Amino acid sequence: MLPPRGHPAMPDAGLLLGRLAVGVIFVAHGWQKLVDEGHAEVARSFDHLGIPVPSLSALYCTWVELLGGLALIAGFLVPLAGVLIALNMAGAFWFVHMDNGLFSEKGGYEYVMVLAAVSVLFALTGAGRYSLDALLWTRHGEGAGRYRESVRA
């Protein structure tokens, strides 16, 4: 038996660590867009990049990164946050990084590809037992196994 499966809490601990790391990254990027750059500058940048409806796209990107990151950190509505963030990263791939190759050092898509893949992972697996989702969507006295079953259903 593999060590992570040896104890039932190990996969959930892995999900928690991943959610925290990725959530912090998205909160930082959303905060940067909201506070450091501001909506008008983000929209101008998006317009320059050829992103459709730049003002609306800037709003979506800013708030999905900020609130989606917070959702990952808290473990709240993680499947929804994962889908919205993955769509955001798909847009970043398509409009900004796709033509630059794989490597980030050349403006490539490796970073957004990893963030999108991890976001899809969260969308498909859920937050795990160490999350608000587990507290809110399980009945008292039931374990995370019931949470996982309800997420998979």
What is the per-residue pLDDT across 115-126, written as a single tens digit (0 to 9) for each?
999 999 999 999
CA neighbor of 71 nearest in space, from 114, 27, 104: 27
CA neighbor of 19 nearest in space, from 135, 132, 119: 119
Assign 107 a pLDDT band (cuts: 50, 70, 90). Answer: very high
Assign 139 a pLDDT band (cuts: 50, 70, 90). Answer: low
Amino acid 8: pLDDT: 81
pLDDT (mean) for 28-55 = 97
Query: Cα(119)–Cα(10) distance, rounded to whole angstroms?
Result: 19
Amino acid 151: pLDDT: 46
Spell out the domain ranges in the chain.
Answer: 13-151
Query: Cα(137)–Cα(75) distance, rounded to whole angstroms?
Result: 12
CA neighbor of 34 nearest in space, from 57, 66, 82: 66
Q: What percent of the chain has pLDDT over 70?
A: 86
pLDDT (mean) for 10-37 = 97
The answer to whether residue 82 scores a pLDDT higher than 80 is yes
Amino acid 3: pLDDT: 58
Give the residue, 8 or 86, on which the prediction is more confident: 86
Model's pTM, two decimal places?
0.85
> Would the CA dihedral through 53, 48, 100, 62 be positive or negative?
negative
Query: Cα(55)–Cα(31) distance, rounded to whole angstroms?
Result: 17
Q: Print burial letters for 35-52: b (CB count within 10 Å at least 16), e (below 16).
A: eebeeeebbeebeeeebe
Query: Cα(63)–Cα(17) distance, rounded to whole angstroms?
Result: 22
Amino acid 152: pLDDT: 46
Amino acid 17: pLDDT: 97
Q: 3-state secondary structure string, 58-92?
A: HHHHHHHHHHHHHHHHHCCCHHHHHHHHHHHHHHH
- Which of 16-30, 53-67, 126-140 shows the lowest mean pLDDT across its residues? 126-140
